[in-house]
């Protein structure tokens, strides 16, 4: 899609029409600036690389109200399976999270962005970004765009980050997910399965989605592909008893999840948001709410820069990095700690942790502190329990040796 956008200086070019890019673009255009979202695919919302599980509190914080037709279910709790078959259930009577059709969600965000005045450039892959003294030049096939600043919201393999020498996640989790025409368990419970045999370095999941079921696996440092682990999980996991089959699949989603803390997320005339900046919860892999918060902070920093005509790196460090550190870092670090714990324990140690959790009634703590976007309070409370504190300290200090 060639456009006459090439002839004008834009205020902001947002690379990537996913959740983070659309949220940032909407906020900036809403303040009256000229914003273009450049998206490599022909359609917003595809391909889907997400389960669509978003906390209700997080959606509220982002001031988002997805349309009813996009909402496929409500989650009130979780069932957690240890490698050796211990089961922990934390179920509350309150609605905690929504299961949302991600394609419809992104389309809703795109409609909000368009209504705010954003221009959309589809089927347009940014190949290169170069920062000059007067602006940023984006090279696309057959044309180029110029803007006063660029927001890289182009996902885990961000071209904007690479061209600017910014964040590049040292660790990725590979994930595969099938949407099955099947049902499983309770309609308001997400199930998580741990164990090196099924999902080394992460976990497998079952998530009810209306009449369907999402079954997925994330792996890191594994020998096989995520898809091969997913098929094995469905066929052989003892808790599934062979009742779910990949032959009932409607679609296969694949993607990568950055699970390292964000690093440098700004340079002169450049900001990174969402997966491109590493704003993902390392222990769960969820990135839409945290990425959305980073997008709003990036938009606010961009607005300040446009008003003050200061696009320097030092300005963005104050206006953006300092703010996301205040808002998000403590919680992202808590997720990183939980991930470190889960990946460093052997399967036998994880079984022991589950048994301890059952004895010490961990589920009531999980019900009291259900906010998976902000787990630091939960961790702090957990460490008040002497048996947990001693187990976790030994586990982290011994880096997985028998505890
Ligand atoms: C299997 C799976 C399940 C998940 N489930 C959940 C979940 O339940 N809840 C949750 O919160 N998170 C989940 N996540 C993570 C979540 O999907 C991401 O954190 C989220 O999509 C990040 O949004 P984003 O806008 O930053 O990036 P993306 O959604 O990746 O969007 C980036 C956009 O940039 C475009 N783009 C990339 N490069 C270019 C380029 N050079 N030029 C132009 N356009 C470009 C892409 O086409 C894409 O549209 C899941 C991830 C996976 C893989």
Q: How many residues does the chain have?
A: 403
User: Does ligand 1 have an atom closer than 6 angstroms to the CB of 154?
Assistant: yes
Would the CB of 280 count as within 6 Å of ligand 1?
yes
Taking CA atoms only, the protein residue closest to ligand 1 atom 37 is 154
Residue 348 CB contacts under 8 Å (≥ 6 apart), including other chains: 83, 84
Centre of ligand 1 to C-alpha 41, Å, is 13
Could you tell me if the CB of 13 is within 6 A of ligand 1?
A: no
Lowest average pLDDT, out of 135-144, 239-248, 329-338, goes to: 239-248
Q: Is the CB of 126 under 6 A from ligand 1?
A: yes
Residues 6+ apart with CB under 8 A from 6: 143, 144, 145, 146
Average pLDDT over residues 118-135: 96
* CA 305 vs CA 13, 80, 278, 398: distances in Å: 14, 46, 23, 47
Q: What span, in angstroms and rounded, lies between the C-alpha atoms of 343 and 350?
A: 10
- Asked if 270 and 136 touch (Cβ cutoff 8 Å), the reply is yes
Query: Quick one: average pLDDT of 363-379?
Result: 89
Q: Calculate mean pLDDT across residues 364-392.
A: 89
The whole-chain average pLDDT of the chain stands at 94
Question: Looking at residue 223, what DSSP letter applies?
Answer: S
In this prediction, residue 150 has a pLDDT band, given cuts at 50, 70 and 90, of very high
State in Å: Cα 357 to ligand 1 middle: 33
Which residues are within 8 A (CB) of 269 and not within 5 positions of it... i.e. 6 or more apart?
Answer: 131, 135, 136, 148, 149, 150, 311
Q: State pTM to two decimals.
A: 0.96
- Burial annotation 102-129 (CB, 10 A radius, 16+ → b, else e): bbbbbbbbbebbbebbbbbbbebebeeb
H/E element holding 123?
none
- Show Cβ contacts of residue 195 under 8 Å, excluding neighbours closer than 6 positions: 81, 82, 83, 84, 347, 350
Q: For residues 303 and 322, what is the distance between their CA atoms, to the nearest angstrom?
A: 16
**Residue of minimum CA distance from atom 50 in ligand 1:** 50
* Residue 140, H or E segment: strand 136-140
- Decide: 51 in ligand 1 pocket, CB within 6 A: yes
Residue 199 clears pLDDT 90, i.e. is over it: yes
For residue 64, is pLDDT > 60? yes
pLDDT surpassing 70 at residue 373: yes
Q: Domain residues of the chain, as ranges? A: 4-46+102-169+260-329, 53-100+171-258, 335-398
User: What is the Å distance from ligand 1's center to 115 Cα?
Assistant: 22
Which pLDDT band, with edges at 50, 70 and 90, does 2 fall under?
low
Geometric angle at alpha carbon 168, from 163 and 171, rounded to 5°: 155
Ligand 1, atom 31, residue with closest C-alpha: 18
Q: Which atom of ligand 1 is nearest to the CA of 273?
A: 26
What is the sign, positive or negative, of the torsion defined by CA atoms of 131, 134, 136, 140? Answer: negative
Ligand 1 test: best mutation among 1, 14, 16, most atoms within 8 Å of CB? 16
pLDDT-above-90 percentage for the chain: 86
Q: Which atom of ligand 1 is nearest to the CA of 287?
A: 19
Q: Is the CB of 50 under 6 A from ligand 1?
A: yes
Instruction: Write the CB contacts of 326 (distance below 8 Å, at least 6 apart in sequence).
Output: none
Residue 97 corresponds to which tokens in the numbers above? 């999270």
Q: pLDDT tens digits, residue range 15-56?
A: 999 999 999 999 999 999 999 999 999 999 999 999 999 999
Residue 130, pLDDT above cutoff 80: yes
- Cα(18) to centroid of ligand 1, in Å? 6
State residue 399's pLDDT score: 56
The minimum-distance atom of ligand 1 relative to the CA of 124 is 43
Whether domain 4-46+102-169+260-329 has CATH 3.40.50.300: the reply is: no
Question: Would you state the structure tokens that stand for residue 381, as one six-digit string?
Answer: 């409370």
Predicted pLDDT at 168: 84
Q: Which two tokens mark 90?
A: 């934390």
Residue linked to tokens 């906020």: 27
Measured CA to CA, the distance from residue 188 to residue 81 in angstroms comes to 17
Q: What are phi and psi of 43, to 5 degrees?
A: -135, 135
Q: What is the mean pLDDT of residues 299-313?
A: 98
Ligand 1 and 284: CB distance under 6 A: no
Report whether residue 275 contacts ligand 1, using a CB cutoff of 6 Å: yes
Cis peptide upstream of residue 47 (ω within 30 degrees of 0): yes
- Residue in this structure with the two tokens 């324990």, named with its chain if needed: 345
What ligand 1 atom has the least distance to the C-alpha of 53?
Answer: 8
Q: Is 362 in the pocket of ligand 1 (CB under 6 A)?
A: no
- The rounded Cα 331 to chain-centroid distance in angstroms is 14
CA–CA distance, 89 with 149 (Å, rounded to integer): 48
Look at the domain 53-100+171-258 and name its fold.
D-Amino Acid Oxidase; Chain A, domain 2 (3.30.9)
What per-residue confidence (pLDDT) applies to 185? Answer: 87
Name the token pair of 73: 């279910």
Q: How far apart are CA 132 and CA 270, in angstroms?
A: 11
Q: Which residues contact 153 (CB under 8 A, 6 or more apart)?
A: 14, 15, 16, 18, 20, 21, 24, 272, 273, 274, 276, 295
Q: Decide if 197 contacts 244 (C-beta within 8 A).
A: no
List, in order, residues 6 or more apart from 95 with CB less than 8 Å away.
56, 74, 75, 76
C-alpha 275 – ligand 1 centre gap (Å): 7
Query: How close is the Cα of 102 to the center of ligand 1, in Å?
Result: 10
pLDDT computed for residue 401 by the predictor: 45
Is 106 near ligand 1, meaning CB less than 6 Å away? no
CB of 17 closer than 6 angstroms to any ligand 1 atom: yes
Mean pLDDT lowest among 79-88, 247-256, 373-382: 373-382
CB atoms within 10 A of CB 402: 11
Q: Which atom of ligand 1 is nearest to the CA of 275?
A: 26
* pLDDT > 50? residue 403: no
83 close to ligand 1 (CB < 6 Angstrom):
no
Regarding the beta carbon of 291 and ligand 1, being less than 6 Å apart is answered yes
Tell me what percent of the residues of the chain surpass a pLDDT of 70: 98
């Amino acid at each position: 899609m060639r456009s006459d956008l090439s002839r004008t200086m834009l205020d902001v070019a947002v690379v990537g029409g996913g959740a983070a890019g659309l949220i940032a673009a909407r906020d900036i255009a809403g303040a009256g600036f000229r914003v273009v979202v450049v998206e490599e695919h022909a359609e917003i919302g595809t391909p889907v690389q997400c389960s669509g599980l978003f906390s209700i509190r997080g959606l509220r914080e982002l001031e988002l109200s997805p349309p009813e037709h996009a909402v496929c279910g409500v989650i009130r709790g979780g069932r957690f399976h240890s490698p050796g078959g211990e089961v922990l259930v934390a179920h509350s009577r309150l609605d905690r999270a929504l299961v949302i059709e991600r394609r419809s969600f992104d389309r809703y965000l795109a409609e909000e962005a368009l209504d705010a005045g954003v221009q959309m450039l589809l089927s347009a892959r940014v190949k290169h970004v170069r920062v000059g003294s007067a602006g940023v030049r984006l090279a696309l096939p057959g044309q180029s765009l110029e803007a006063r600043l660029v927001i890289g919201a182009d996902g885990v393999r961000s071209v904007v980050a690479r061209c600017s020498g910014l964040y590049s996640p040292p660790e990725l989790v590979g994930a595969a997910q099938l949407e099955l025409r099947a049902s499983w368990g309770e309609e308001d419970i997400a199930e998580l399965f741990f164990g090196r045999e099924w999902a080394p370095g992460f976990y497998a999941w079952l998530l009810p989605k209306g009449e369907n079921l999402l079954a997925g696996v994330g792996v890191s440092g594994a020998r096989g592909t995520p898809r091969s682990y997913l098929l094995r999980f469905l066929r052989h996991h003892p808790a599934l008893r062979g009742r779910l089959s990949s032959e009932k699949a409607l679609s296969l989603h694949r993607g990568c999840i950055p699970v390292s803390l964000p690093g440098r997320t700004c340079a002169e005339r450049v900001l990174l948001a969402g997966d491109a900046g590493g704003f993902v919860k390392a222990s769960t892999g969820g990135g839409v709410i945290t990425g959305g918060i980073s997008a709003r902070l990036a938009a606010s920093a961009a607005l300040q820069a446009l008003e003050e005509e200061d696009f320097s790196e030092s300005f963005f460090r104050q206006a953006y990095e300092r703010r996301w550190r205040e808002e998000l870092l403590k919680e992202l670090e808590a997720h990183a700690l939980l991930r470190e714990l889960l990946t460093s324990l052997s399967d036998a140690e994880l079984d022991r942790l589950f048994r301890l959790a059952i004895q010490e009634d961990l589920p009531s703590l999980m019900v009291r502190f259900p906010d998976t976007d902000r787990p630091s309070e939960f961790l702090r409370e957990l460490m008040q329990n002497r048996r947990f504190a001693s187990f976790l300290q030994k586990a982290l200090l011994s880096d997985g040796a028998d505890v």
